[in-house]
A and B are shown apart, each in its own frame.
Chain A
C-alpha cells in the first residue's frame, strides 16, 4: 500500500464513521446559524448596522463553531485505544492525521462554508461581498481545523480540556480572523481584497505543511500519558 492509498483509506474510514452519526454532523452547522441569527436580536435589525458588522459576526461564529466541533476530533479513537494503533502503524502518523483533519473538514467545515452565503443574505450583504465571504471561508476554515487540531492533540487526555483548548487555540486564530473578516469588509467598501485572500492562502499552505507533524508528535505525547 503506498502513501496515497493509505491516505484515502484513512479518509474514507473517517468519513464512513462520521456519516453514521448524522445528528452530530449537523450540530456545528446549526450552532453556526443560531449564533449568527442572535446578533440582529442583540444589536439591531437595521440593515446598515448589519452590513457593517456582518463579516465579523459570520467569521467569529464560524471560528466558534469549528472550536466546538474540535472536541470530538480524536475523542473516540483516543478512548477506545485505536489512536495507539494508528500511531504504531508503519505509515507516518502525520499522513494519517492529515487524512483525519481532511475528513473532519469535510464533515464540519464544508457544510459551514456552503451555508455561509445564506447567512450573508440574512445580514444584508451584497452578492459580490458574499462571494468574497465564501472564498475567504474556503481558504480560512481549513486553517482553523488544522491549528485547532494541534490544540486538541495536546489536551486530549485532560479532564478540563474544553476551556483550556479555547485558551490555547483562539490566540492562534487571530491572524485568520483579521485577514478573513477584513477581506469581506474591504469588498463591501469596494476596496481591493486580493491581498487578504492571498495571505489566507499563504497561512493555509504553512498550516498544511507543518501542522500534521506537530499533531502526530503531540498525540504521541498525549498517548504516552495514559
Chain B
C-alpha cells in the first residue's frame, strides 16, 4: 500500500463516527494527564522560578495566561475555518462537529485574553482599557465568534445550521487578516505605540520556557475539551445509529 493510500485510509477512518468516538475515548486520559503536568510545570516555572521583570516587576507574570490564551483564540478560529472548509467540500460530518465544539472554547479563550489583557493593562498603562491594536482586534475576533455561535443557535435544523455556520466561518477567516491589519494600521496612525510586551528584543530563557510550556498546555487543554465535547455531540447526533445502540445496551 502506498503512502497516499494509507493517508486516505486514515482520513476515511477518522471520518467514521464510531471509530472517532473510540479513538477520542482512548486519547482523552492521556491528554488530560499531559495537560495537568505541562500546566503545573508552566505555572510553577512562571510564577515561582522565572525572575521578575526589570520594568514590570511581578506584574508581568500574567503573561503566562494572557499570551497563550491570545494565541489560542486565533488558533481555534483557524481550526474552525479548516474544518468548515472540509465540511463544505467533502461533507464530513465529523468536521462540522469539531467546528461546532470549537466555537465556544475559542470564544472563551478570546474572552480570557481580553480580561487578562485588561487586568494587565491597569497597573502597566494605568487604565483598564486602551484602544491598542492587539486588544481591539481581539475584541473584534470575539464579535466574530459570537456571531458564529449566534447563527448556529438560531437555526434549529442541525445540518442546515452546520452549512450556514461553515460559510460564515470561511467568510470570517478571509476577513480576519484584513481586519487585523487594518486595525494595526489605524492604531499606528492614531496614537503613539503603547508599552509593548516584546519591547526588549530577547526574552530570557527561564521566562520563555514556562511560557512555551503554558502554550502547549493550553493547546492540550483545548484538545481535552474538544474531545469531550465532540464525543457527546457525536452521541447525540448519531443516537439512532447501531453503534450507539450497541454502546448503550452493552454498558
Judged by a CB distance under 8 angstroms, whether B27 is at the interface is no
Q: A172 and B175: CB pair below 8 A? A: yes
Judged by a CB distance under 8 angstroms, whether B171 is at the interface is yes
Residues 169-182 of B, flagged 1 when their CB comes within 8 A of A and 0 if not, give 01110110011001
CA distance A225 to B175 in the complex (A): 26
Residues 134-159 of B, flagged 1 when their CB comes within 8 A of A and 0 if not, give 00000010011011001100110100
Enumerate A126-183 residues with CB–CB distance to B below 8 Å.
150, 154-155, 157-158, 160, 164, 167-168, 170-172, 174-175, 178-179, 182
Q: A170 and B143: CB pair below 8 A? A: yes
Judged by a CB distance under 8 angstroms, whether B189 is at the interface is yes
Q: A155 and B154: CB pair below 8 A? A: yes
A-side contacts of B167, CB under 8 Å = 150, 154, 214, 217-218, 221
A-side contacts of B154, CB under 8 Å = 155, 158, 160, 164
Q: Which residue of B lies closest to A224 (CB)?
A: B160
Instruction: Select which of B157, B160, B171, B183 is within 8 A of A172 by beta carbon.
Output: B171
Q: How large is the interface on B (under 10, 10 to 19, 20 to 34, 35 or more residues)?
A: 20 to 34
Judged by a CB distance under 8 angstroms, whether B168 is at the interface is yes
CB distance from A148 to the nearest CB of B (A): 12
B-side contacts of A218, CB under 8 Å = 164, 167
Judged by a CB distance under 8 angstroms, whether A203 is at the interface is yes
Judged by a CB distance under 8 angstroms, whether A115 is at the interface is no
A-side contacts of B168, CB under 8 Å = 154, 168
A-side contacts of B140, CB under 8 Å = 171, 174
Q: Which residue of B lies closest to A181 (CB)?
A: B186
Q: B160 and A225: CB pair below 8 A? A: yes
CA distance A174 to B187 in the complex (A): 13
B-side contacts of A164, CB under 8 Å = 147, 150-151, 154
Q: B164 and A154: CB pair below 8 A? A: yes
Q: B160 and A168: CB pair below 8 A? A: no
A-side contacts of B171, CB under 8 Å = 150, 172, 214
A-side contacts of B155, CB under 8 Å = 157-158, 225
A-side contacts of B150, CB under 8 Å = 164, 167-168
Known A210-B174, A221-B160, A221-B163; contact A174-B182, beta-carbon cutoff 8 A: yes
Q: Which residue of A lies closest to B142 (CB)?
A: A171
Q: Which residue of A lies closest to B175 (CB)?
A: A172
Q: B185 and A178: CB pair below 8 A? A: yes
B-side contacts of A182, CB under 8 Å = 186, 189
CA distance A224 to B144 in the complex (A): 25
- Chain B residues in the interface with A (C-beta under 8 A): 140, 143-144, 146-147, 150-151, 154-155, 157, 160, 163-164, 167-168, 170-172, 174-175, 178-179, 182-183, 185-186, 189
Show 13 residue pairs from A and B whose CB-CB distance is below 8 angstroms, ordered by the A residue. Answer: A150-B167, A154-B164, A164-B154, A168-B147, A171-B144, A171-B179, A175-B182, A199-B182, A210-B174, A214-B167, A221-B167, A222-B164, A225-B155
* Given A167-B146, A171-B175, A172-B175, 6 further pairs, Cβ under 8 A: A150-B171, A154-B167, A158-B154, A171-B147, A174-B179, A175-B175
- Chain A residues in the interface with B (C-beta under 8 A): 150, 154-155, 157-158, 160, 164, 167-168, 170-172, 174-175, 178-179, 182, 199, 203, 210, 214, 217-218, 221-222, 224-225
* Top 7 A-B residue pairs of the complex, sorted by shortest distance between their CB atoms: A175-B182, A171-B143, A168-B147, A221-B163, A178-B186, A167-B147, A225-B160
